[in-house]
Structure 1
């Protein structure tokens, strides 16, 4: 009861801020478009008015979320991936949400560093710049310089971080503030799931739990350090991509220290040309990096906006801010590859089968109707010049079939689609006549041959056979035990070589044959 009253009071304040920015009505419209209706929103409009606001509906909602604070800013970033829920334009407007807040004082930043690392800041850094270079909803970043002694690396060891570094520090009290707002969002999600049957397919409770886990991840900077370290390991032999090394001795739960990257913002065409960079080469490298993260590794940077990417003097692409990362398991990557092939060949019946076989669309749905819907979406796109085709928007339109065909789109696939939109935006700024995905096409084709061709299927069959042979002793033991139990109930048949009933060996031979030759 107390929790409900607390959250209802907080929800009324949220509604008041939404109304002031003219975001209540757009939110109600989006809810109705998704198949739901909120009595609370109707009451809020009567209490606070609809509001007018300026800009498109998504822009008005973004402004309201900034005022509501850190948790709602992060929620807006998550919603910007949900084209299936909000529509393309609304989601695109939310994707421009600026995660910027006024900085907290340098004295608090210094005190946090000393408390987390247990040493005076003067011994940790030769110098520490009190002016933050960025201040976001969860943390802010300061530049610093390490003491000269840090540059002395032990022989035979990996070089330590040295020289200039970037120090990320969590905001004071951020954990408590997030816990309060996430509790409100859980309460609302549970209410929606119980009272809005048509919205249950969006799994609001599961979505908020996923959001809560992501926020918890971002508020433990050791986990961000581990993500950066894993990404750096994946690209250790790639001279085109830079991930800043982590200074583990100066990192903790609320502090992260990494080497400082310098370079030109990825979307600054004039500066890149002035520095002598070949724009098409930069885009080719960016496309290859995106492919390797998504397809080769299944582990990708989840917030690749231009502010998080730079091009250094040597033409290498560098990335920062690893709080949001995405993972794609092997079946999802194969689904993506198959879907891309189906789209390029305009084989819509096969494309429908791919969605159903992958579990994205239930088997109860009509393949013919799904194929017709896919054709309606894709054919107008393929009628355009190649440089105007947005595969990210095409993927977003496919996800918008969610309501009609009860699609269950994996969250990380939505995150990937958002990053594809960002990549296409940067590509068009740098070279409007180029489609970035054509640059990665040879890599994708090679990957599909390796993972979907006859050799790959043969390898899968061999692996299945090997796995079966490894399980053979336990399988035999289980079958023997089952046979013994049956023998106690009924006299054994005479055909029982080596003490094992004949049907046990027949079943085993059949299972082995299926595994090897399927």
Structure 2
């Protein structure tokens, strides 16, 4: 799709939001600064009859559903943060998680047969109606020939074209924001758009999702905070994914939190710890943990589905994340600030101490307090103001992590309104710090660095770039040259022994 068509779709999206009074809802006029209040009143001139129907969240949900899969995913994220946007708004958006309009079952059967290359009856003794429908696919309740109950996920027909169109529009919107808004440039809109688009494109191949689910199932089993259904590989293709049926009740159902014997504080803790253990210990995490993708069972069991978006962290990012969390847990704001500078998140033109002071202003009022006593909208506003003050730019490689952290905290707050995220995070972060940054870990890293230095030295002798070393390598070196190499090796060995012992 060309730029002209993309601009047309972007304009149509803005018009749809304005017609539904979902862009700057009239109900929030009192909260807008004067400039936005004036714009809101102007937009209301264009609002249609549908703008009078329902609450702001209902009107926004209607608009996003028509705008396509990327817009729907934005609504899913907003629906997890009742603490920021209010419970009615979040509840109105919750239908975007798994209650969209399904496509016919006979179409799904044809997709299964075309993808797997055999009749539905060759694998399934029963293939039922859709039980959930989301932005990219829908799930069917089915039974395998061997009697196992499974969920069969089928991609929506023509969804690839919709995603491609959304990608064009999102890229255009990012370019416009970057060109015309100085404030938006700090958020790296083009890099953010590319990250979102790439993640969505990967969701369109269920073979990749099956591999991600299989990998994360192994990771989850090591801690037990969360589990994942087993992949049925015979029922996997580019447009079809088959997994064993997830036990428990979907967390998107209101009755889920009223299950007999459910330990809601422990359930919220397990959710937070599962995410952190995945990210810190293994560098791979489920990056779409909204209620529609979570099933719960008493007393505190969590099962995750839908592994289309997998986040990954390099070792350096894992270390920075752990050190930042640990610094907040210990209320060591100087350490948190220094880690931001070491990671390059804050330009070195600023003062570490001044940044630590700003972090203290945000952290102290919320540390150790129950979630119900903390206004997350106020905290996020403060953080945004501070990041602007210290020229912090969005880190594209951390977008999925930040998005998932926001989602997981919102879900945990819904499960347990008194939830303390810091208390829940403590054992996972503490374990990581002791293992990765303790004396034994430092000794191991030093040994690895010493061995790497020896390998480099060996390569230097085999392929010497310097004349003196070349002479040594040919067996013609002086005793002094051999002594220099021997001293280097001995020195490394001595330092290694001193560090370890």
TM range (shorter): 0.7 to 0.9
Query: 1:98-137, CA deviations, whole angstroms, 9 ceiling, x for partnerless residues?
Result: 24431111111011001001111122210111x2111111
Greater displacement, 345-354 / 51-60: 51-60
1:65 aligns with 2:64: yes
Q: In 1, are the aligned partners of 2:130 and 2:140 still within 8 Å (CA)?
A: yes
Structure 1 residues 513, 196: CA separation in 2 closer, same or farther (over 3 Å shift)?
farther
CA contact (8 A) 1:464 1:515 kept: no
Quick check: 1:191 aligned with 2:176?
yes
Which residue number corresponds to residue 409 of structure 2?
A: 421
Task: Describe the superposition over 1:265-286 as per-residue Cα deviations: whole angstroms up to 9, x where unpaired.
Answer: 4587976665434445444544
CA drift at 1:305: 2.4
Q: 1:271 to 1:223 in 2, by over 3 A?
A: closer
Q: Which residue of 2 aligns with 1:497?
A: 478
Instruction: Note the alpha carbon deviations across 1:246-270, whole angstroms, 9 max, x for none.
Output: 1111110000000011313458797
Instruction: Say whether 1:481 aligns with 2:447.
Output: no
Distance 1:486 1:291, change over 3 A: closer
What is the SS of the residue equivalent to 2:65?
helix
Task: Indicate the residue corresponding to 2:14 in structure 1.
Answer: 15
Residue equivalent to 2:391: 406
**Larger RCO, structure (CA 8 Å, separation 6 or more):** 2
1:400, distance to aligned residue in structure 2 (A): 5.2
Pair 1:301–1:292, CA change in 2 (3 A): same
Equivalent residue number for residue 492 of structure 1: none
Contact 2:155 2:240 in 1 (8 A): yes
- 1:204-223 matched pairs, under 5 angstroms: 204-223=189-208
Aligned-partner Cα distance in 2 for 1:340–1:203: 24
Q: Secondary structure at the match of 1:225?
A: helix
Corresponding residue of 1:251: 236
Instruction: Say yes or no: does 1:336 pair with 2:321.
Output: yes
Q: CA deviation at 1:73?
A: 1.6
Aligned pair count reads 479
Alignment of 1:61-460 (within 5 A): 61-77=60-76, 89=85, 96=93, 98-99=96-97, 100-129=99-128, 131-148=129-146, 163-238=148-223, 241-266=226-251, 275-312=260-297, 316-382=301-367, 384=369, 388=373, 397-398=382-383, 401-408=386-393, 409=395, 410-429=398-417, 432=418, 434-435=419-420, 437-460=422-445
Q: Is the partner of 1:362 in helix, strand or coil?
A: coil
Offset, 1:338: 1.9
CA distance in 1, matches of 2:346, 2:87: 22
Distance 1:274 1:484, change over 3 A: closer
- Over 3 Å counting, the alpha-carbon distance change for 1:394 and 1:338 in structure 2 is farther
Q: 1:390 to 1:232 in 2, by over 3 A?
A: farther
Residue aligned with 1:145, SS: strand
CA distance in 1, matches of 2:222, 2:183: 49
Q: Rate the CA distance shift 1:294–1:442 in 2: closer, same or farther, 3 A.
A: same
Structure 2 distance, partners of 1:293, 1:346, is 24
Deviates more, 1:10-19 or 1:410-419: 410-419
> What secondary structure is seen at the aligned counterpart in 2 of 1:132?
strand
Do the aligned residues in 2 keep the contact of 1:70 with 1:137 (CA within 8 Å)? yes
Paired with 1:203 and 1:167, the residues of 2 have a C-alpha distance of: 38
Tell me the TM-score normalized by structure 2: 0.80
Contact 1:267 1:426 (C-alpha < 8 Å) held by counterparts: no
The alpha-carbon deviation at position 206 of structure 1 amounts to 1.3
1:182 Cα offset (Å): 0.9
In structure 1, C-alpha distance between the alignment counterparts of 2:288 and 2:370, rounded to whole Å? 29
Structure 2 gaps of 5+ residues are none
Bigger drift between 71-80 and 506-515 goes to 506-515
Residues 1:463 and 2:448 are matched in the alignment: yes
Q: Which moved more, 1:451-460 or 1:465-474?
A: 451-460
Partner of 1:152: none
- TM-score, structure 1 as length reference: 0.78
Contact 1:201 1:406 in 2 (8 A): yes
Residue 462 of structure 1: how far off its partner (Å): 1.7
Could you report, residue by residue, the CA deviation over 1:376-413 in whole angstroms, capped at 9, with x for unpaired residues?
A: 21222238468746899858854553322121342133
Q: Deviation at 1:358?
A: 1.6
How far off its partner does 1:436 sit? 5.0
Cα distance in 1 between the residues matched to 2:10 and 2:245 = 41
Partner of 1:49: 46
The 1:179–1:132 alpha-carbon spacing in structure 2 relative to 1, beyond 3 Å, is same
1:32-56: CA deviation from partner (whole Å, max 9, x where unpaired): x9xx99xxx98x9689737766888
Flag the 1:388–1:295 CA change in 2: closer, same or farther, 3 A: farther
Native 8 Å contact 2:329 2:422 kept in 1: no
